[in-house]
Chain A
């Protein structure tokens, strides 16, 4: 691996919700072109950590660097502007809006008529339909249909298509294969690998360590708001990592040395 500086660097991060310590002194680096599995049980702090990275929560203490720059203000808008795209389980789509409107939500293309910026509906329809069809959308679904009509897999396709289309640098996938059929799940995993091969940083959150071990270059395990392991998938098997989770608390760091 070349000596590039990490794309995202998290140093000694603490986050409190009132008295509750959701993140406890977490430090972790992420590089471009890496697929990192972020693993842990429910309440381990994975989603909280991700929410800091995508600007939903601001940390109580600690620093986040993006591309060498310290992040001072936390807001989803800023994260998206910097090219951090998050694919979350329950949020990201508005059921009351059409596929095309959802696809471009927050980055709507406009066409000026008499100087007034109106939505460019043709572009929104054409591009969203083309991109999402690549990721598995039925032919009889139109980009004008509300996302309410879509299946779980198709909903993920919209979110993933969006992540691909907007030239991002980081794609965070939060339990992307929940509620999906076996075929859809394989498809999503292929997409994750495809994104990585395009040089993006992919952070893949799951509690299924065996599934992500096959995909990831590196696995970070969290428990009770702390990072308890950070190891390359070459240096530890899925079984070994599972043992770490079972024992808990014992901090393991094993990196591939080249």
Chain B
């Protein structure tokens, strides 16, 4: 009796944690990598690289999660990531490093605002608007770079802000600390503020939210702006670490970001999801990419793998949502 009571409590907690599937996914993955490639996987080099790249993707994925929670989707994050990163490099000679960070983030937020505004005021599907955004921003990247590679001058590379964004602290990459900071702030924003409550309500049932006097239009636009801002921030972190612009920067990154959010338990039907889950989803994607290469599998298989993983995780998360977790614990 007592035992089953405790178990049902555990289950209710799990039921409320949409990231549960991702926790299981990470656990299974780590066990598998340990068994298959213990010496290759558990090295300082591997772990620090994986965590570093996870952090950059996780910042994008958390922004994506906010948009998905509001029942929209943003396909343009990869292009916004690239455009912001490139703007960061290009604006530096004119504005200096701090001005360039602010200027390029403003560009990112403008991208988010334009798309959010079009979705909300034009009553258009966000999939189409942000697909348009993807092409438009990617096109600007082509025009700006013209295929050439730009970099920071030495004094900009050694600037304190560049070091703060892209440097290392006690052997830990800056991006990791920034990611944890973003996770902390966004979680607080989502779960413990008015804005968060209204975002969840807007995604859960927009008509009900509207009937309670919530300006759902503004909430959605804010979600798009935040998402674009985070994508841009990730782009700045990437280029502050390795200040070289490429035409292809951020290509297909939107798919990774969406996949990470969905693997992490965000439902595309809106209103339910997890930021921690999005981070864990990013960890799963990056780890597998790294390990597939390490094991000598052709890296071209990675995309197919992401597809299979995405479908599997959606099925798994659905199953959990329907009470599969109870079966897992009680065996019925």
CB <8 Å contact, B201 and A97: yes
Contact with A along B199-236 (1 / 0, CB 8 A): 01101110111111111000000000000000000000
**Residues in A neighbouring B212, C-beta threshold 8 A:** 76, 80, 92, 105-106
Instruction: Determine chain A's interface SS by DSSP, over half rule.
Output: loop
State how many angstroms separate the Cβ of A183 from the closest Cβ of chain B. Answer: 26
CB <8 Å contact, A94 and B194: no
CB <8 Å contact, A91 and B208: yes
B contacts with A, residue count (CB < 8 A): 24
A contacts with B, residue count (CB < 8 A): 31
**Residues in B neighbouring A78, C-beta threshold 8 A:** 213
Mark out the residues of chain A between 120 and 165 whose CB falls within 8 Å of any chain B CB in the assembled complex: 121
The reply on A118 being an interface residue by CB < 8 A is: yes
Select B205's contact among A79, A91, A110, A117, beta carbons within 8 Å. Answer: A91
CB <8 Å contact, A79 and B213: yes
**Residues in B neighbouring A86, C-beta threshold 8 A:** 211
**Residues in A neighbouring B204, C-beta threshold 8 A:** 94-97
The reply on A243 being an interface residue by CB < 8 A is: no
The reply on A240 being an interface residue by CB < 8 A is: no
CB <8 Å contact, A105 and B209: yes
The CA-CA distance from A92 to B204 in the complex, in Å, is 11
CB <8 Å contact, B211 and A117: no
**Residues in B neighbouring A96, C-beta threshold 8 A:** 200, 203-205, 270-272
The CA-CA distance from A77 to B75 in the complex, in Å, is 31
Mark out the residues of chain A between 74 and 93 whose CB falls within 8 Å of any chain B CB in the assembled complex: 75-81, 86, 88, 90-93
The chain B residues found within 8 Å of chain A, CB to CB, are: 188, 192-194, 196-198, 200-201, 203-205, 207-215, 270-272
The chain A residues found within 8 Å of chain B, CB to CB, are: 54, 56, 75-81, 86, 88, 90-97, 101-102, 104-108, 110, 117-119, 121
Q: Contacts A75-B213, A106-B212 given; 11 further ones with Cβ under 8 A?
A: A76-B210, A77-B213, A92-B212, A96-B203, A97-B197, A97-B201, A101-B200, A104-B197, A107-B213, A110-B193, A118-B193
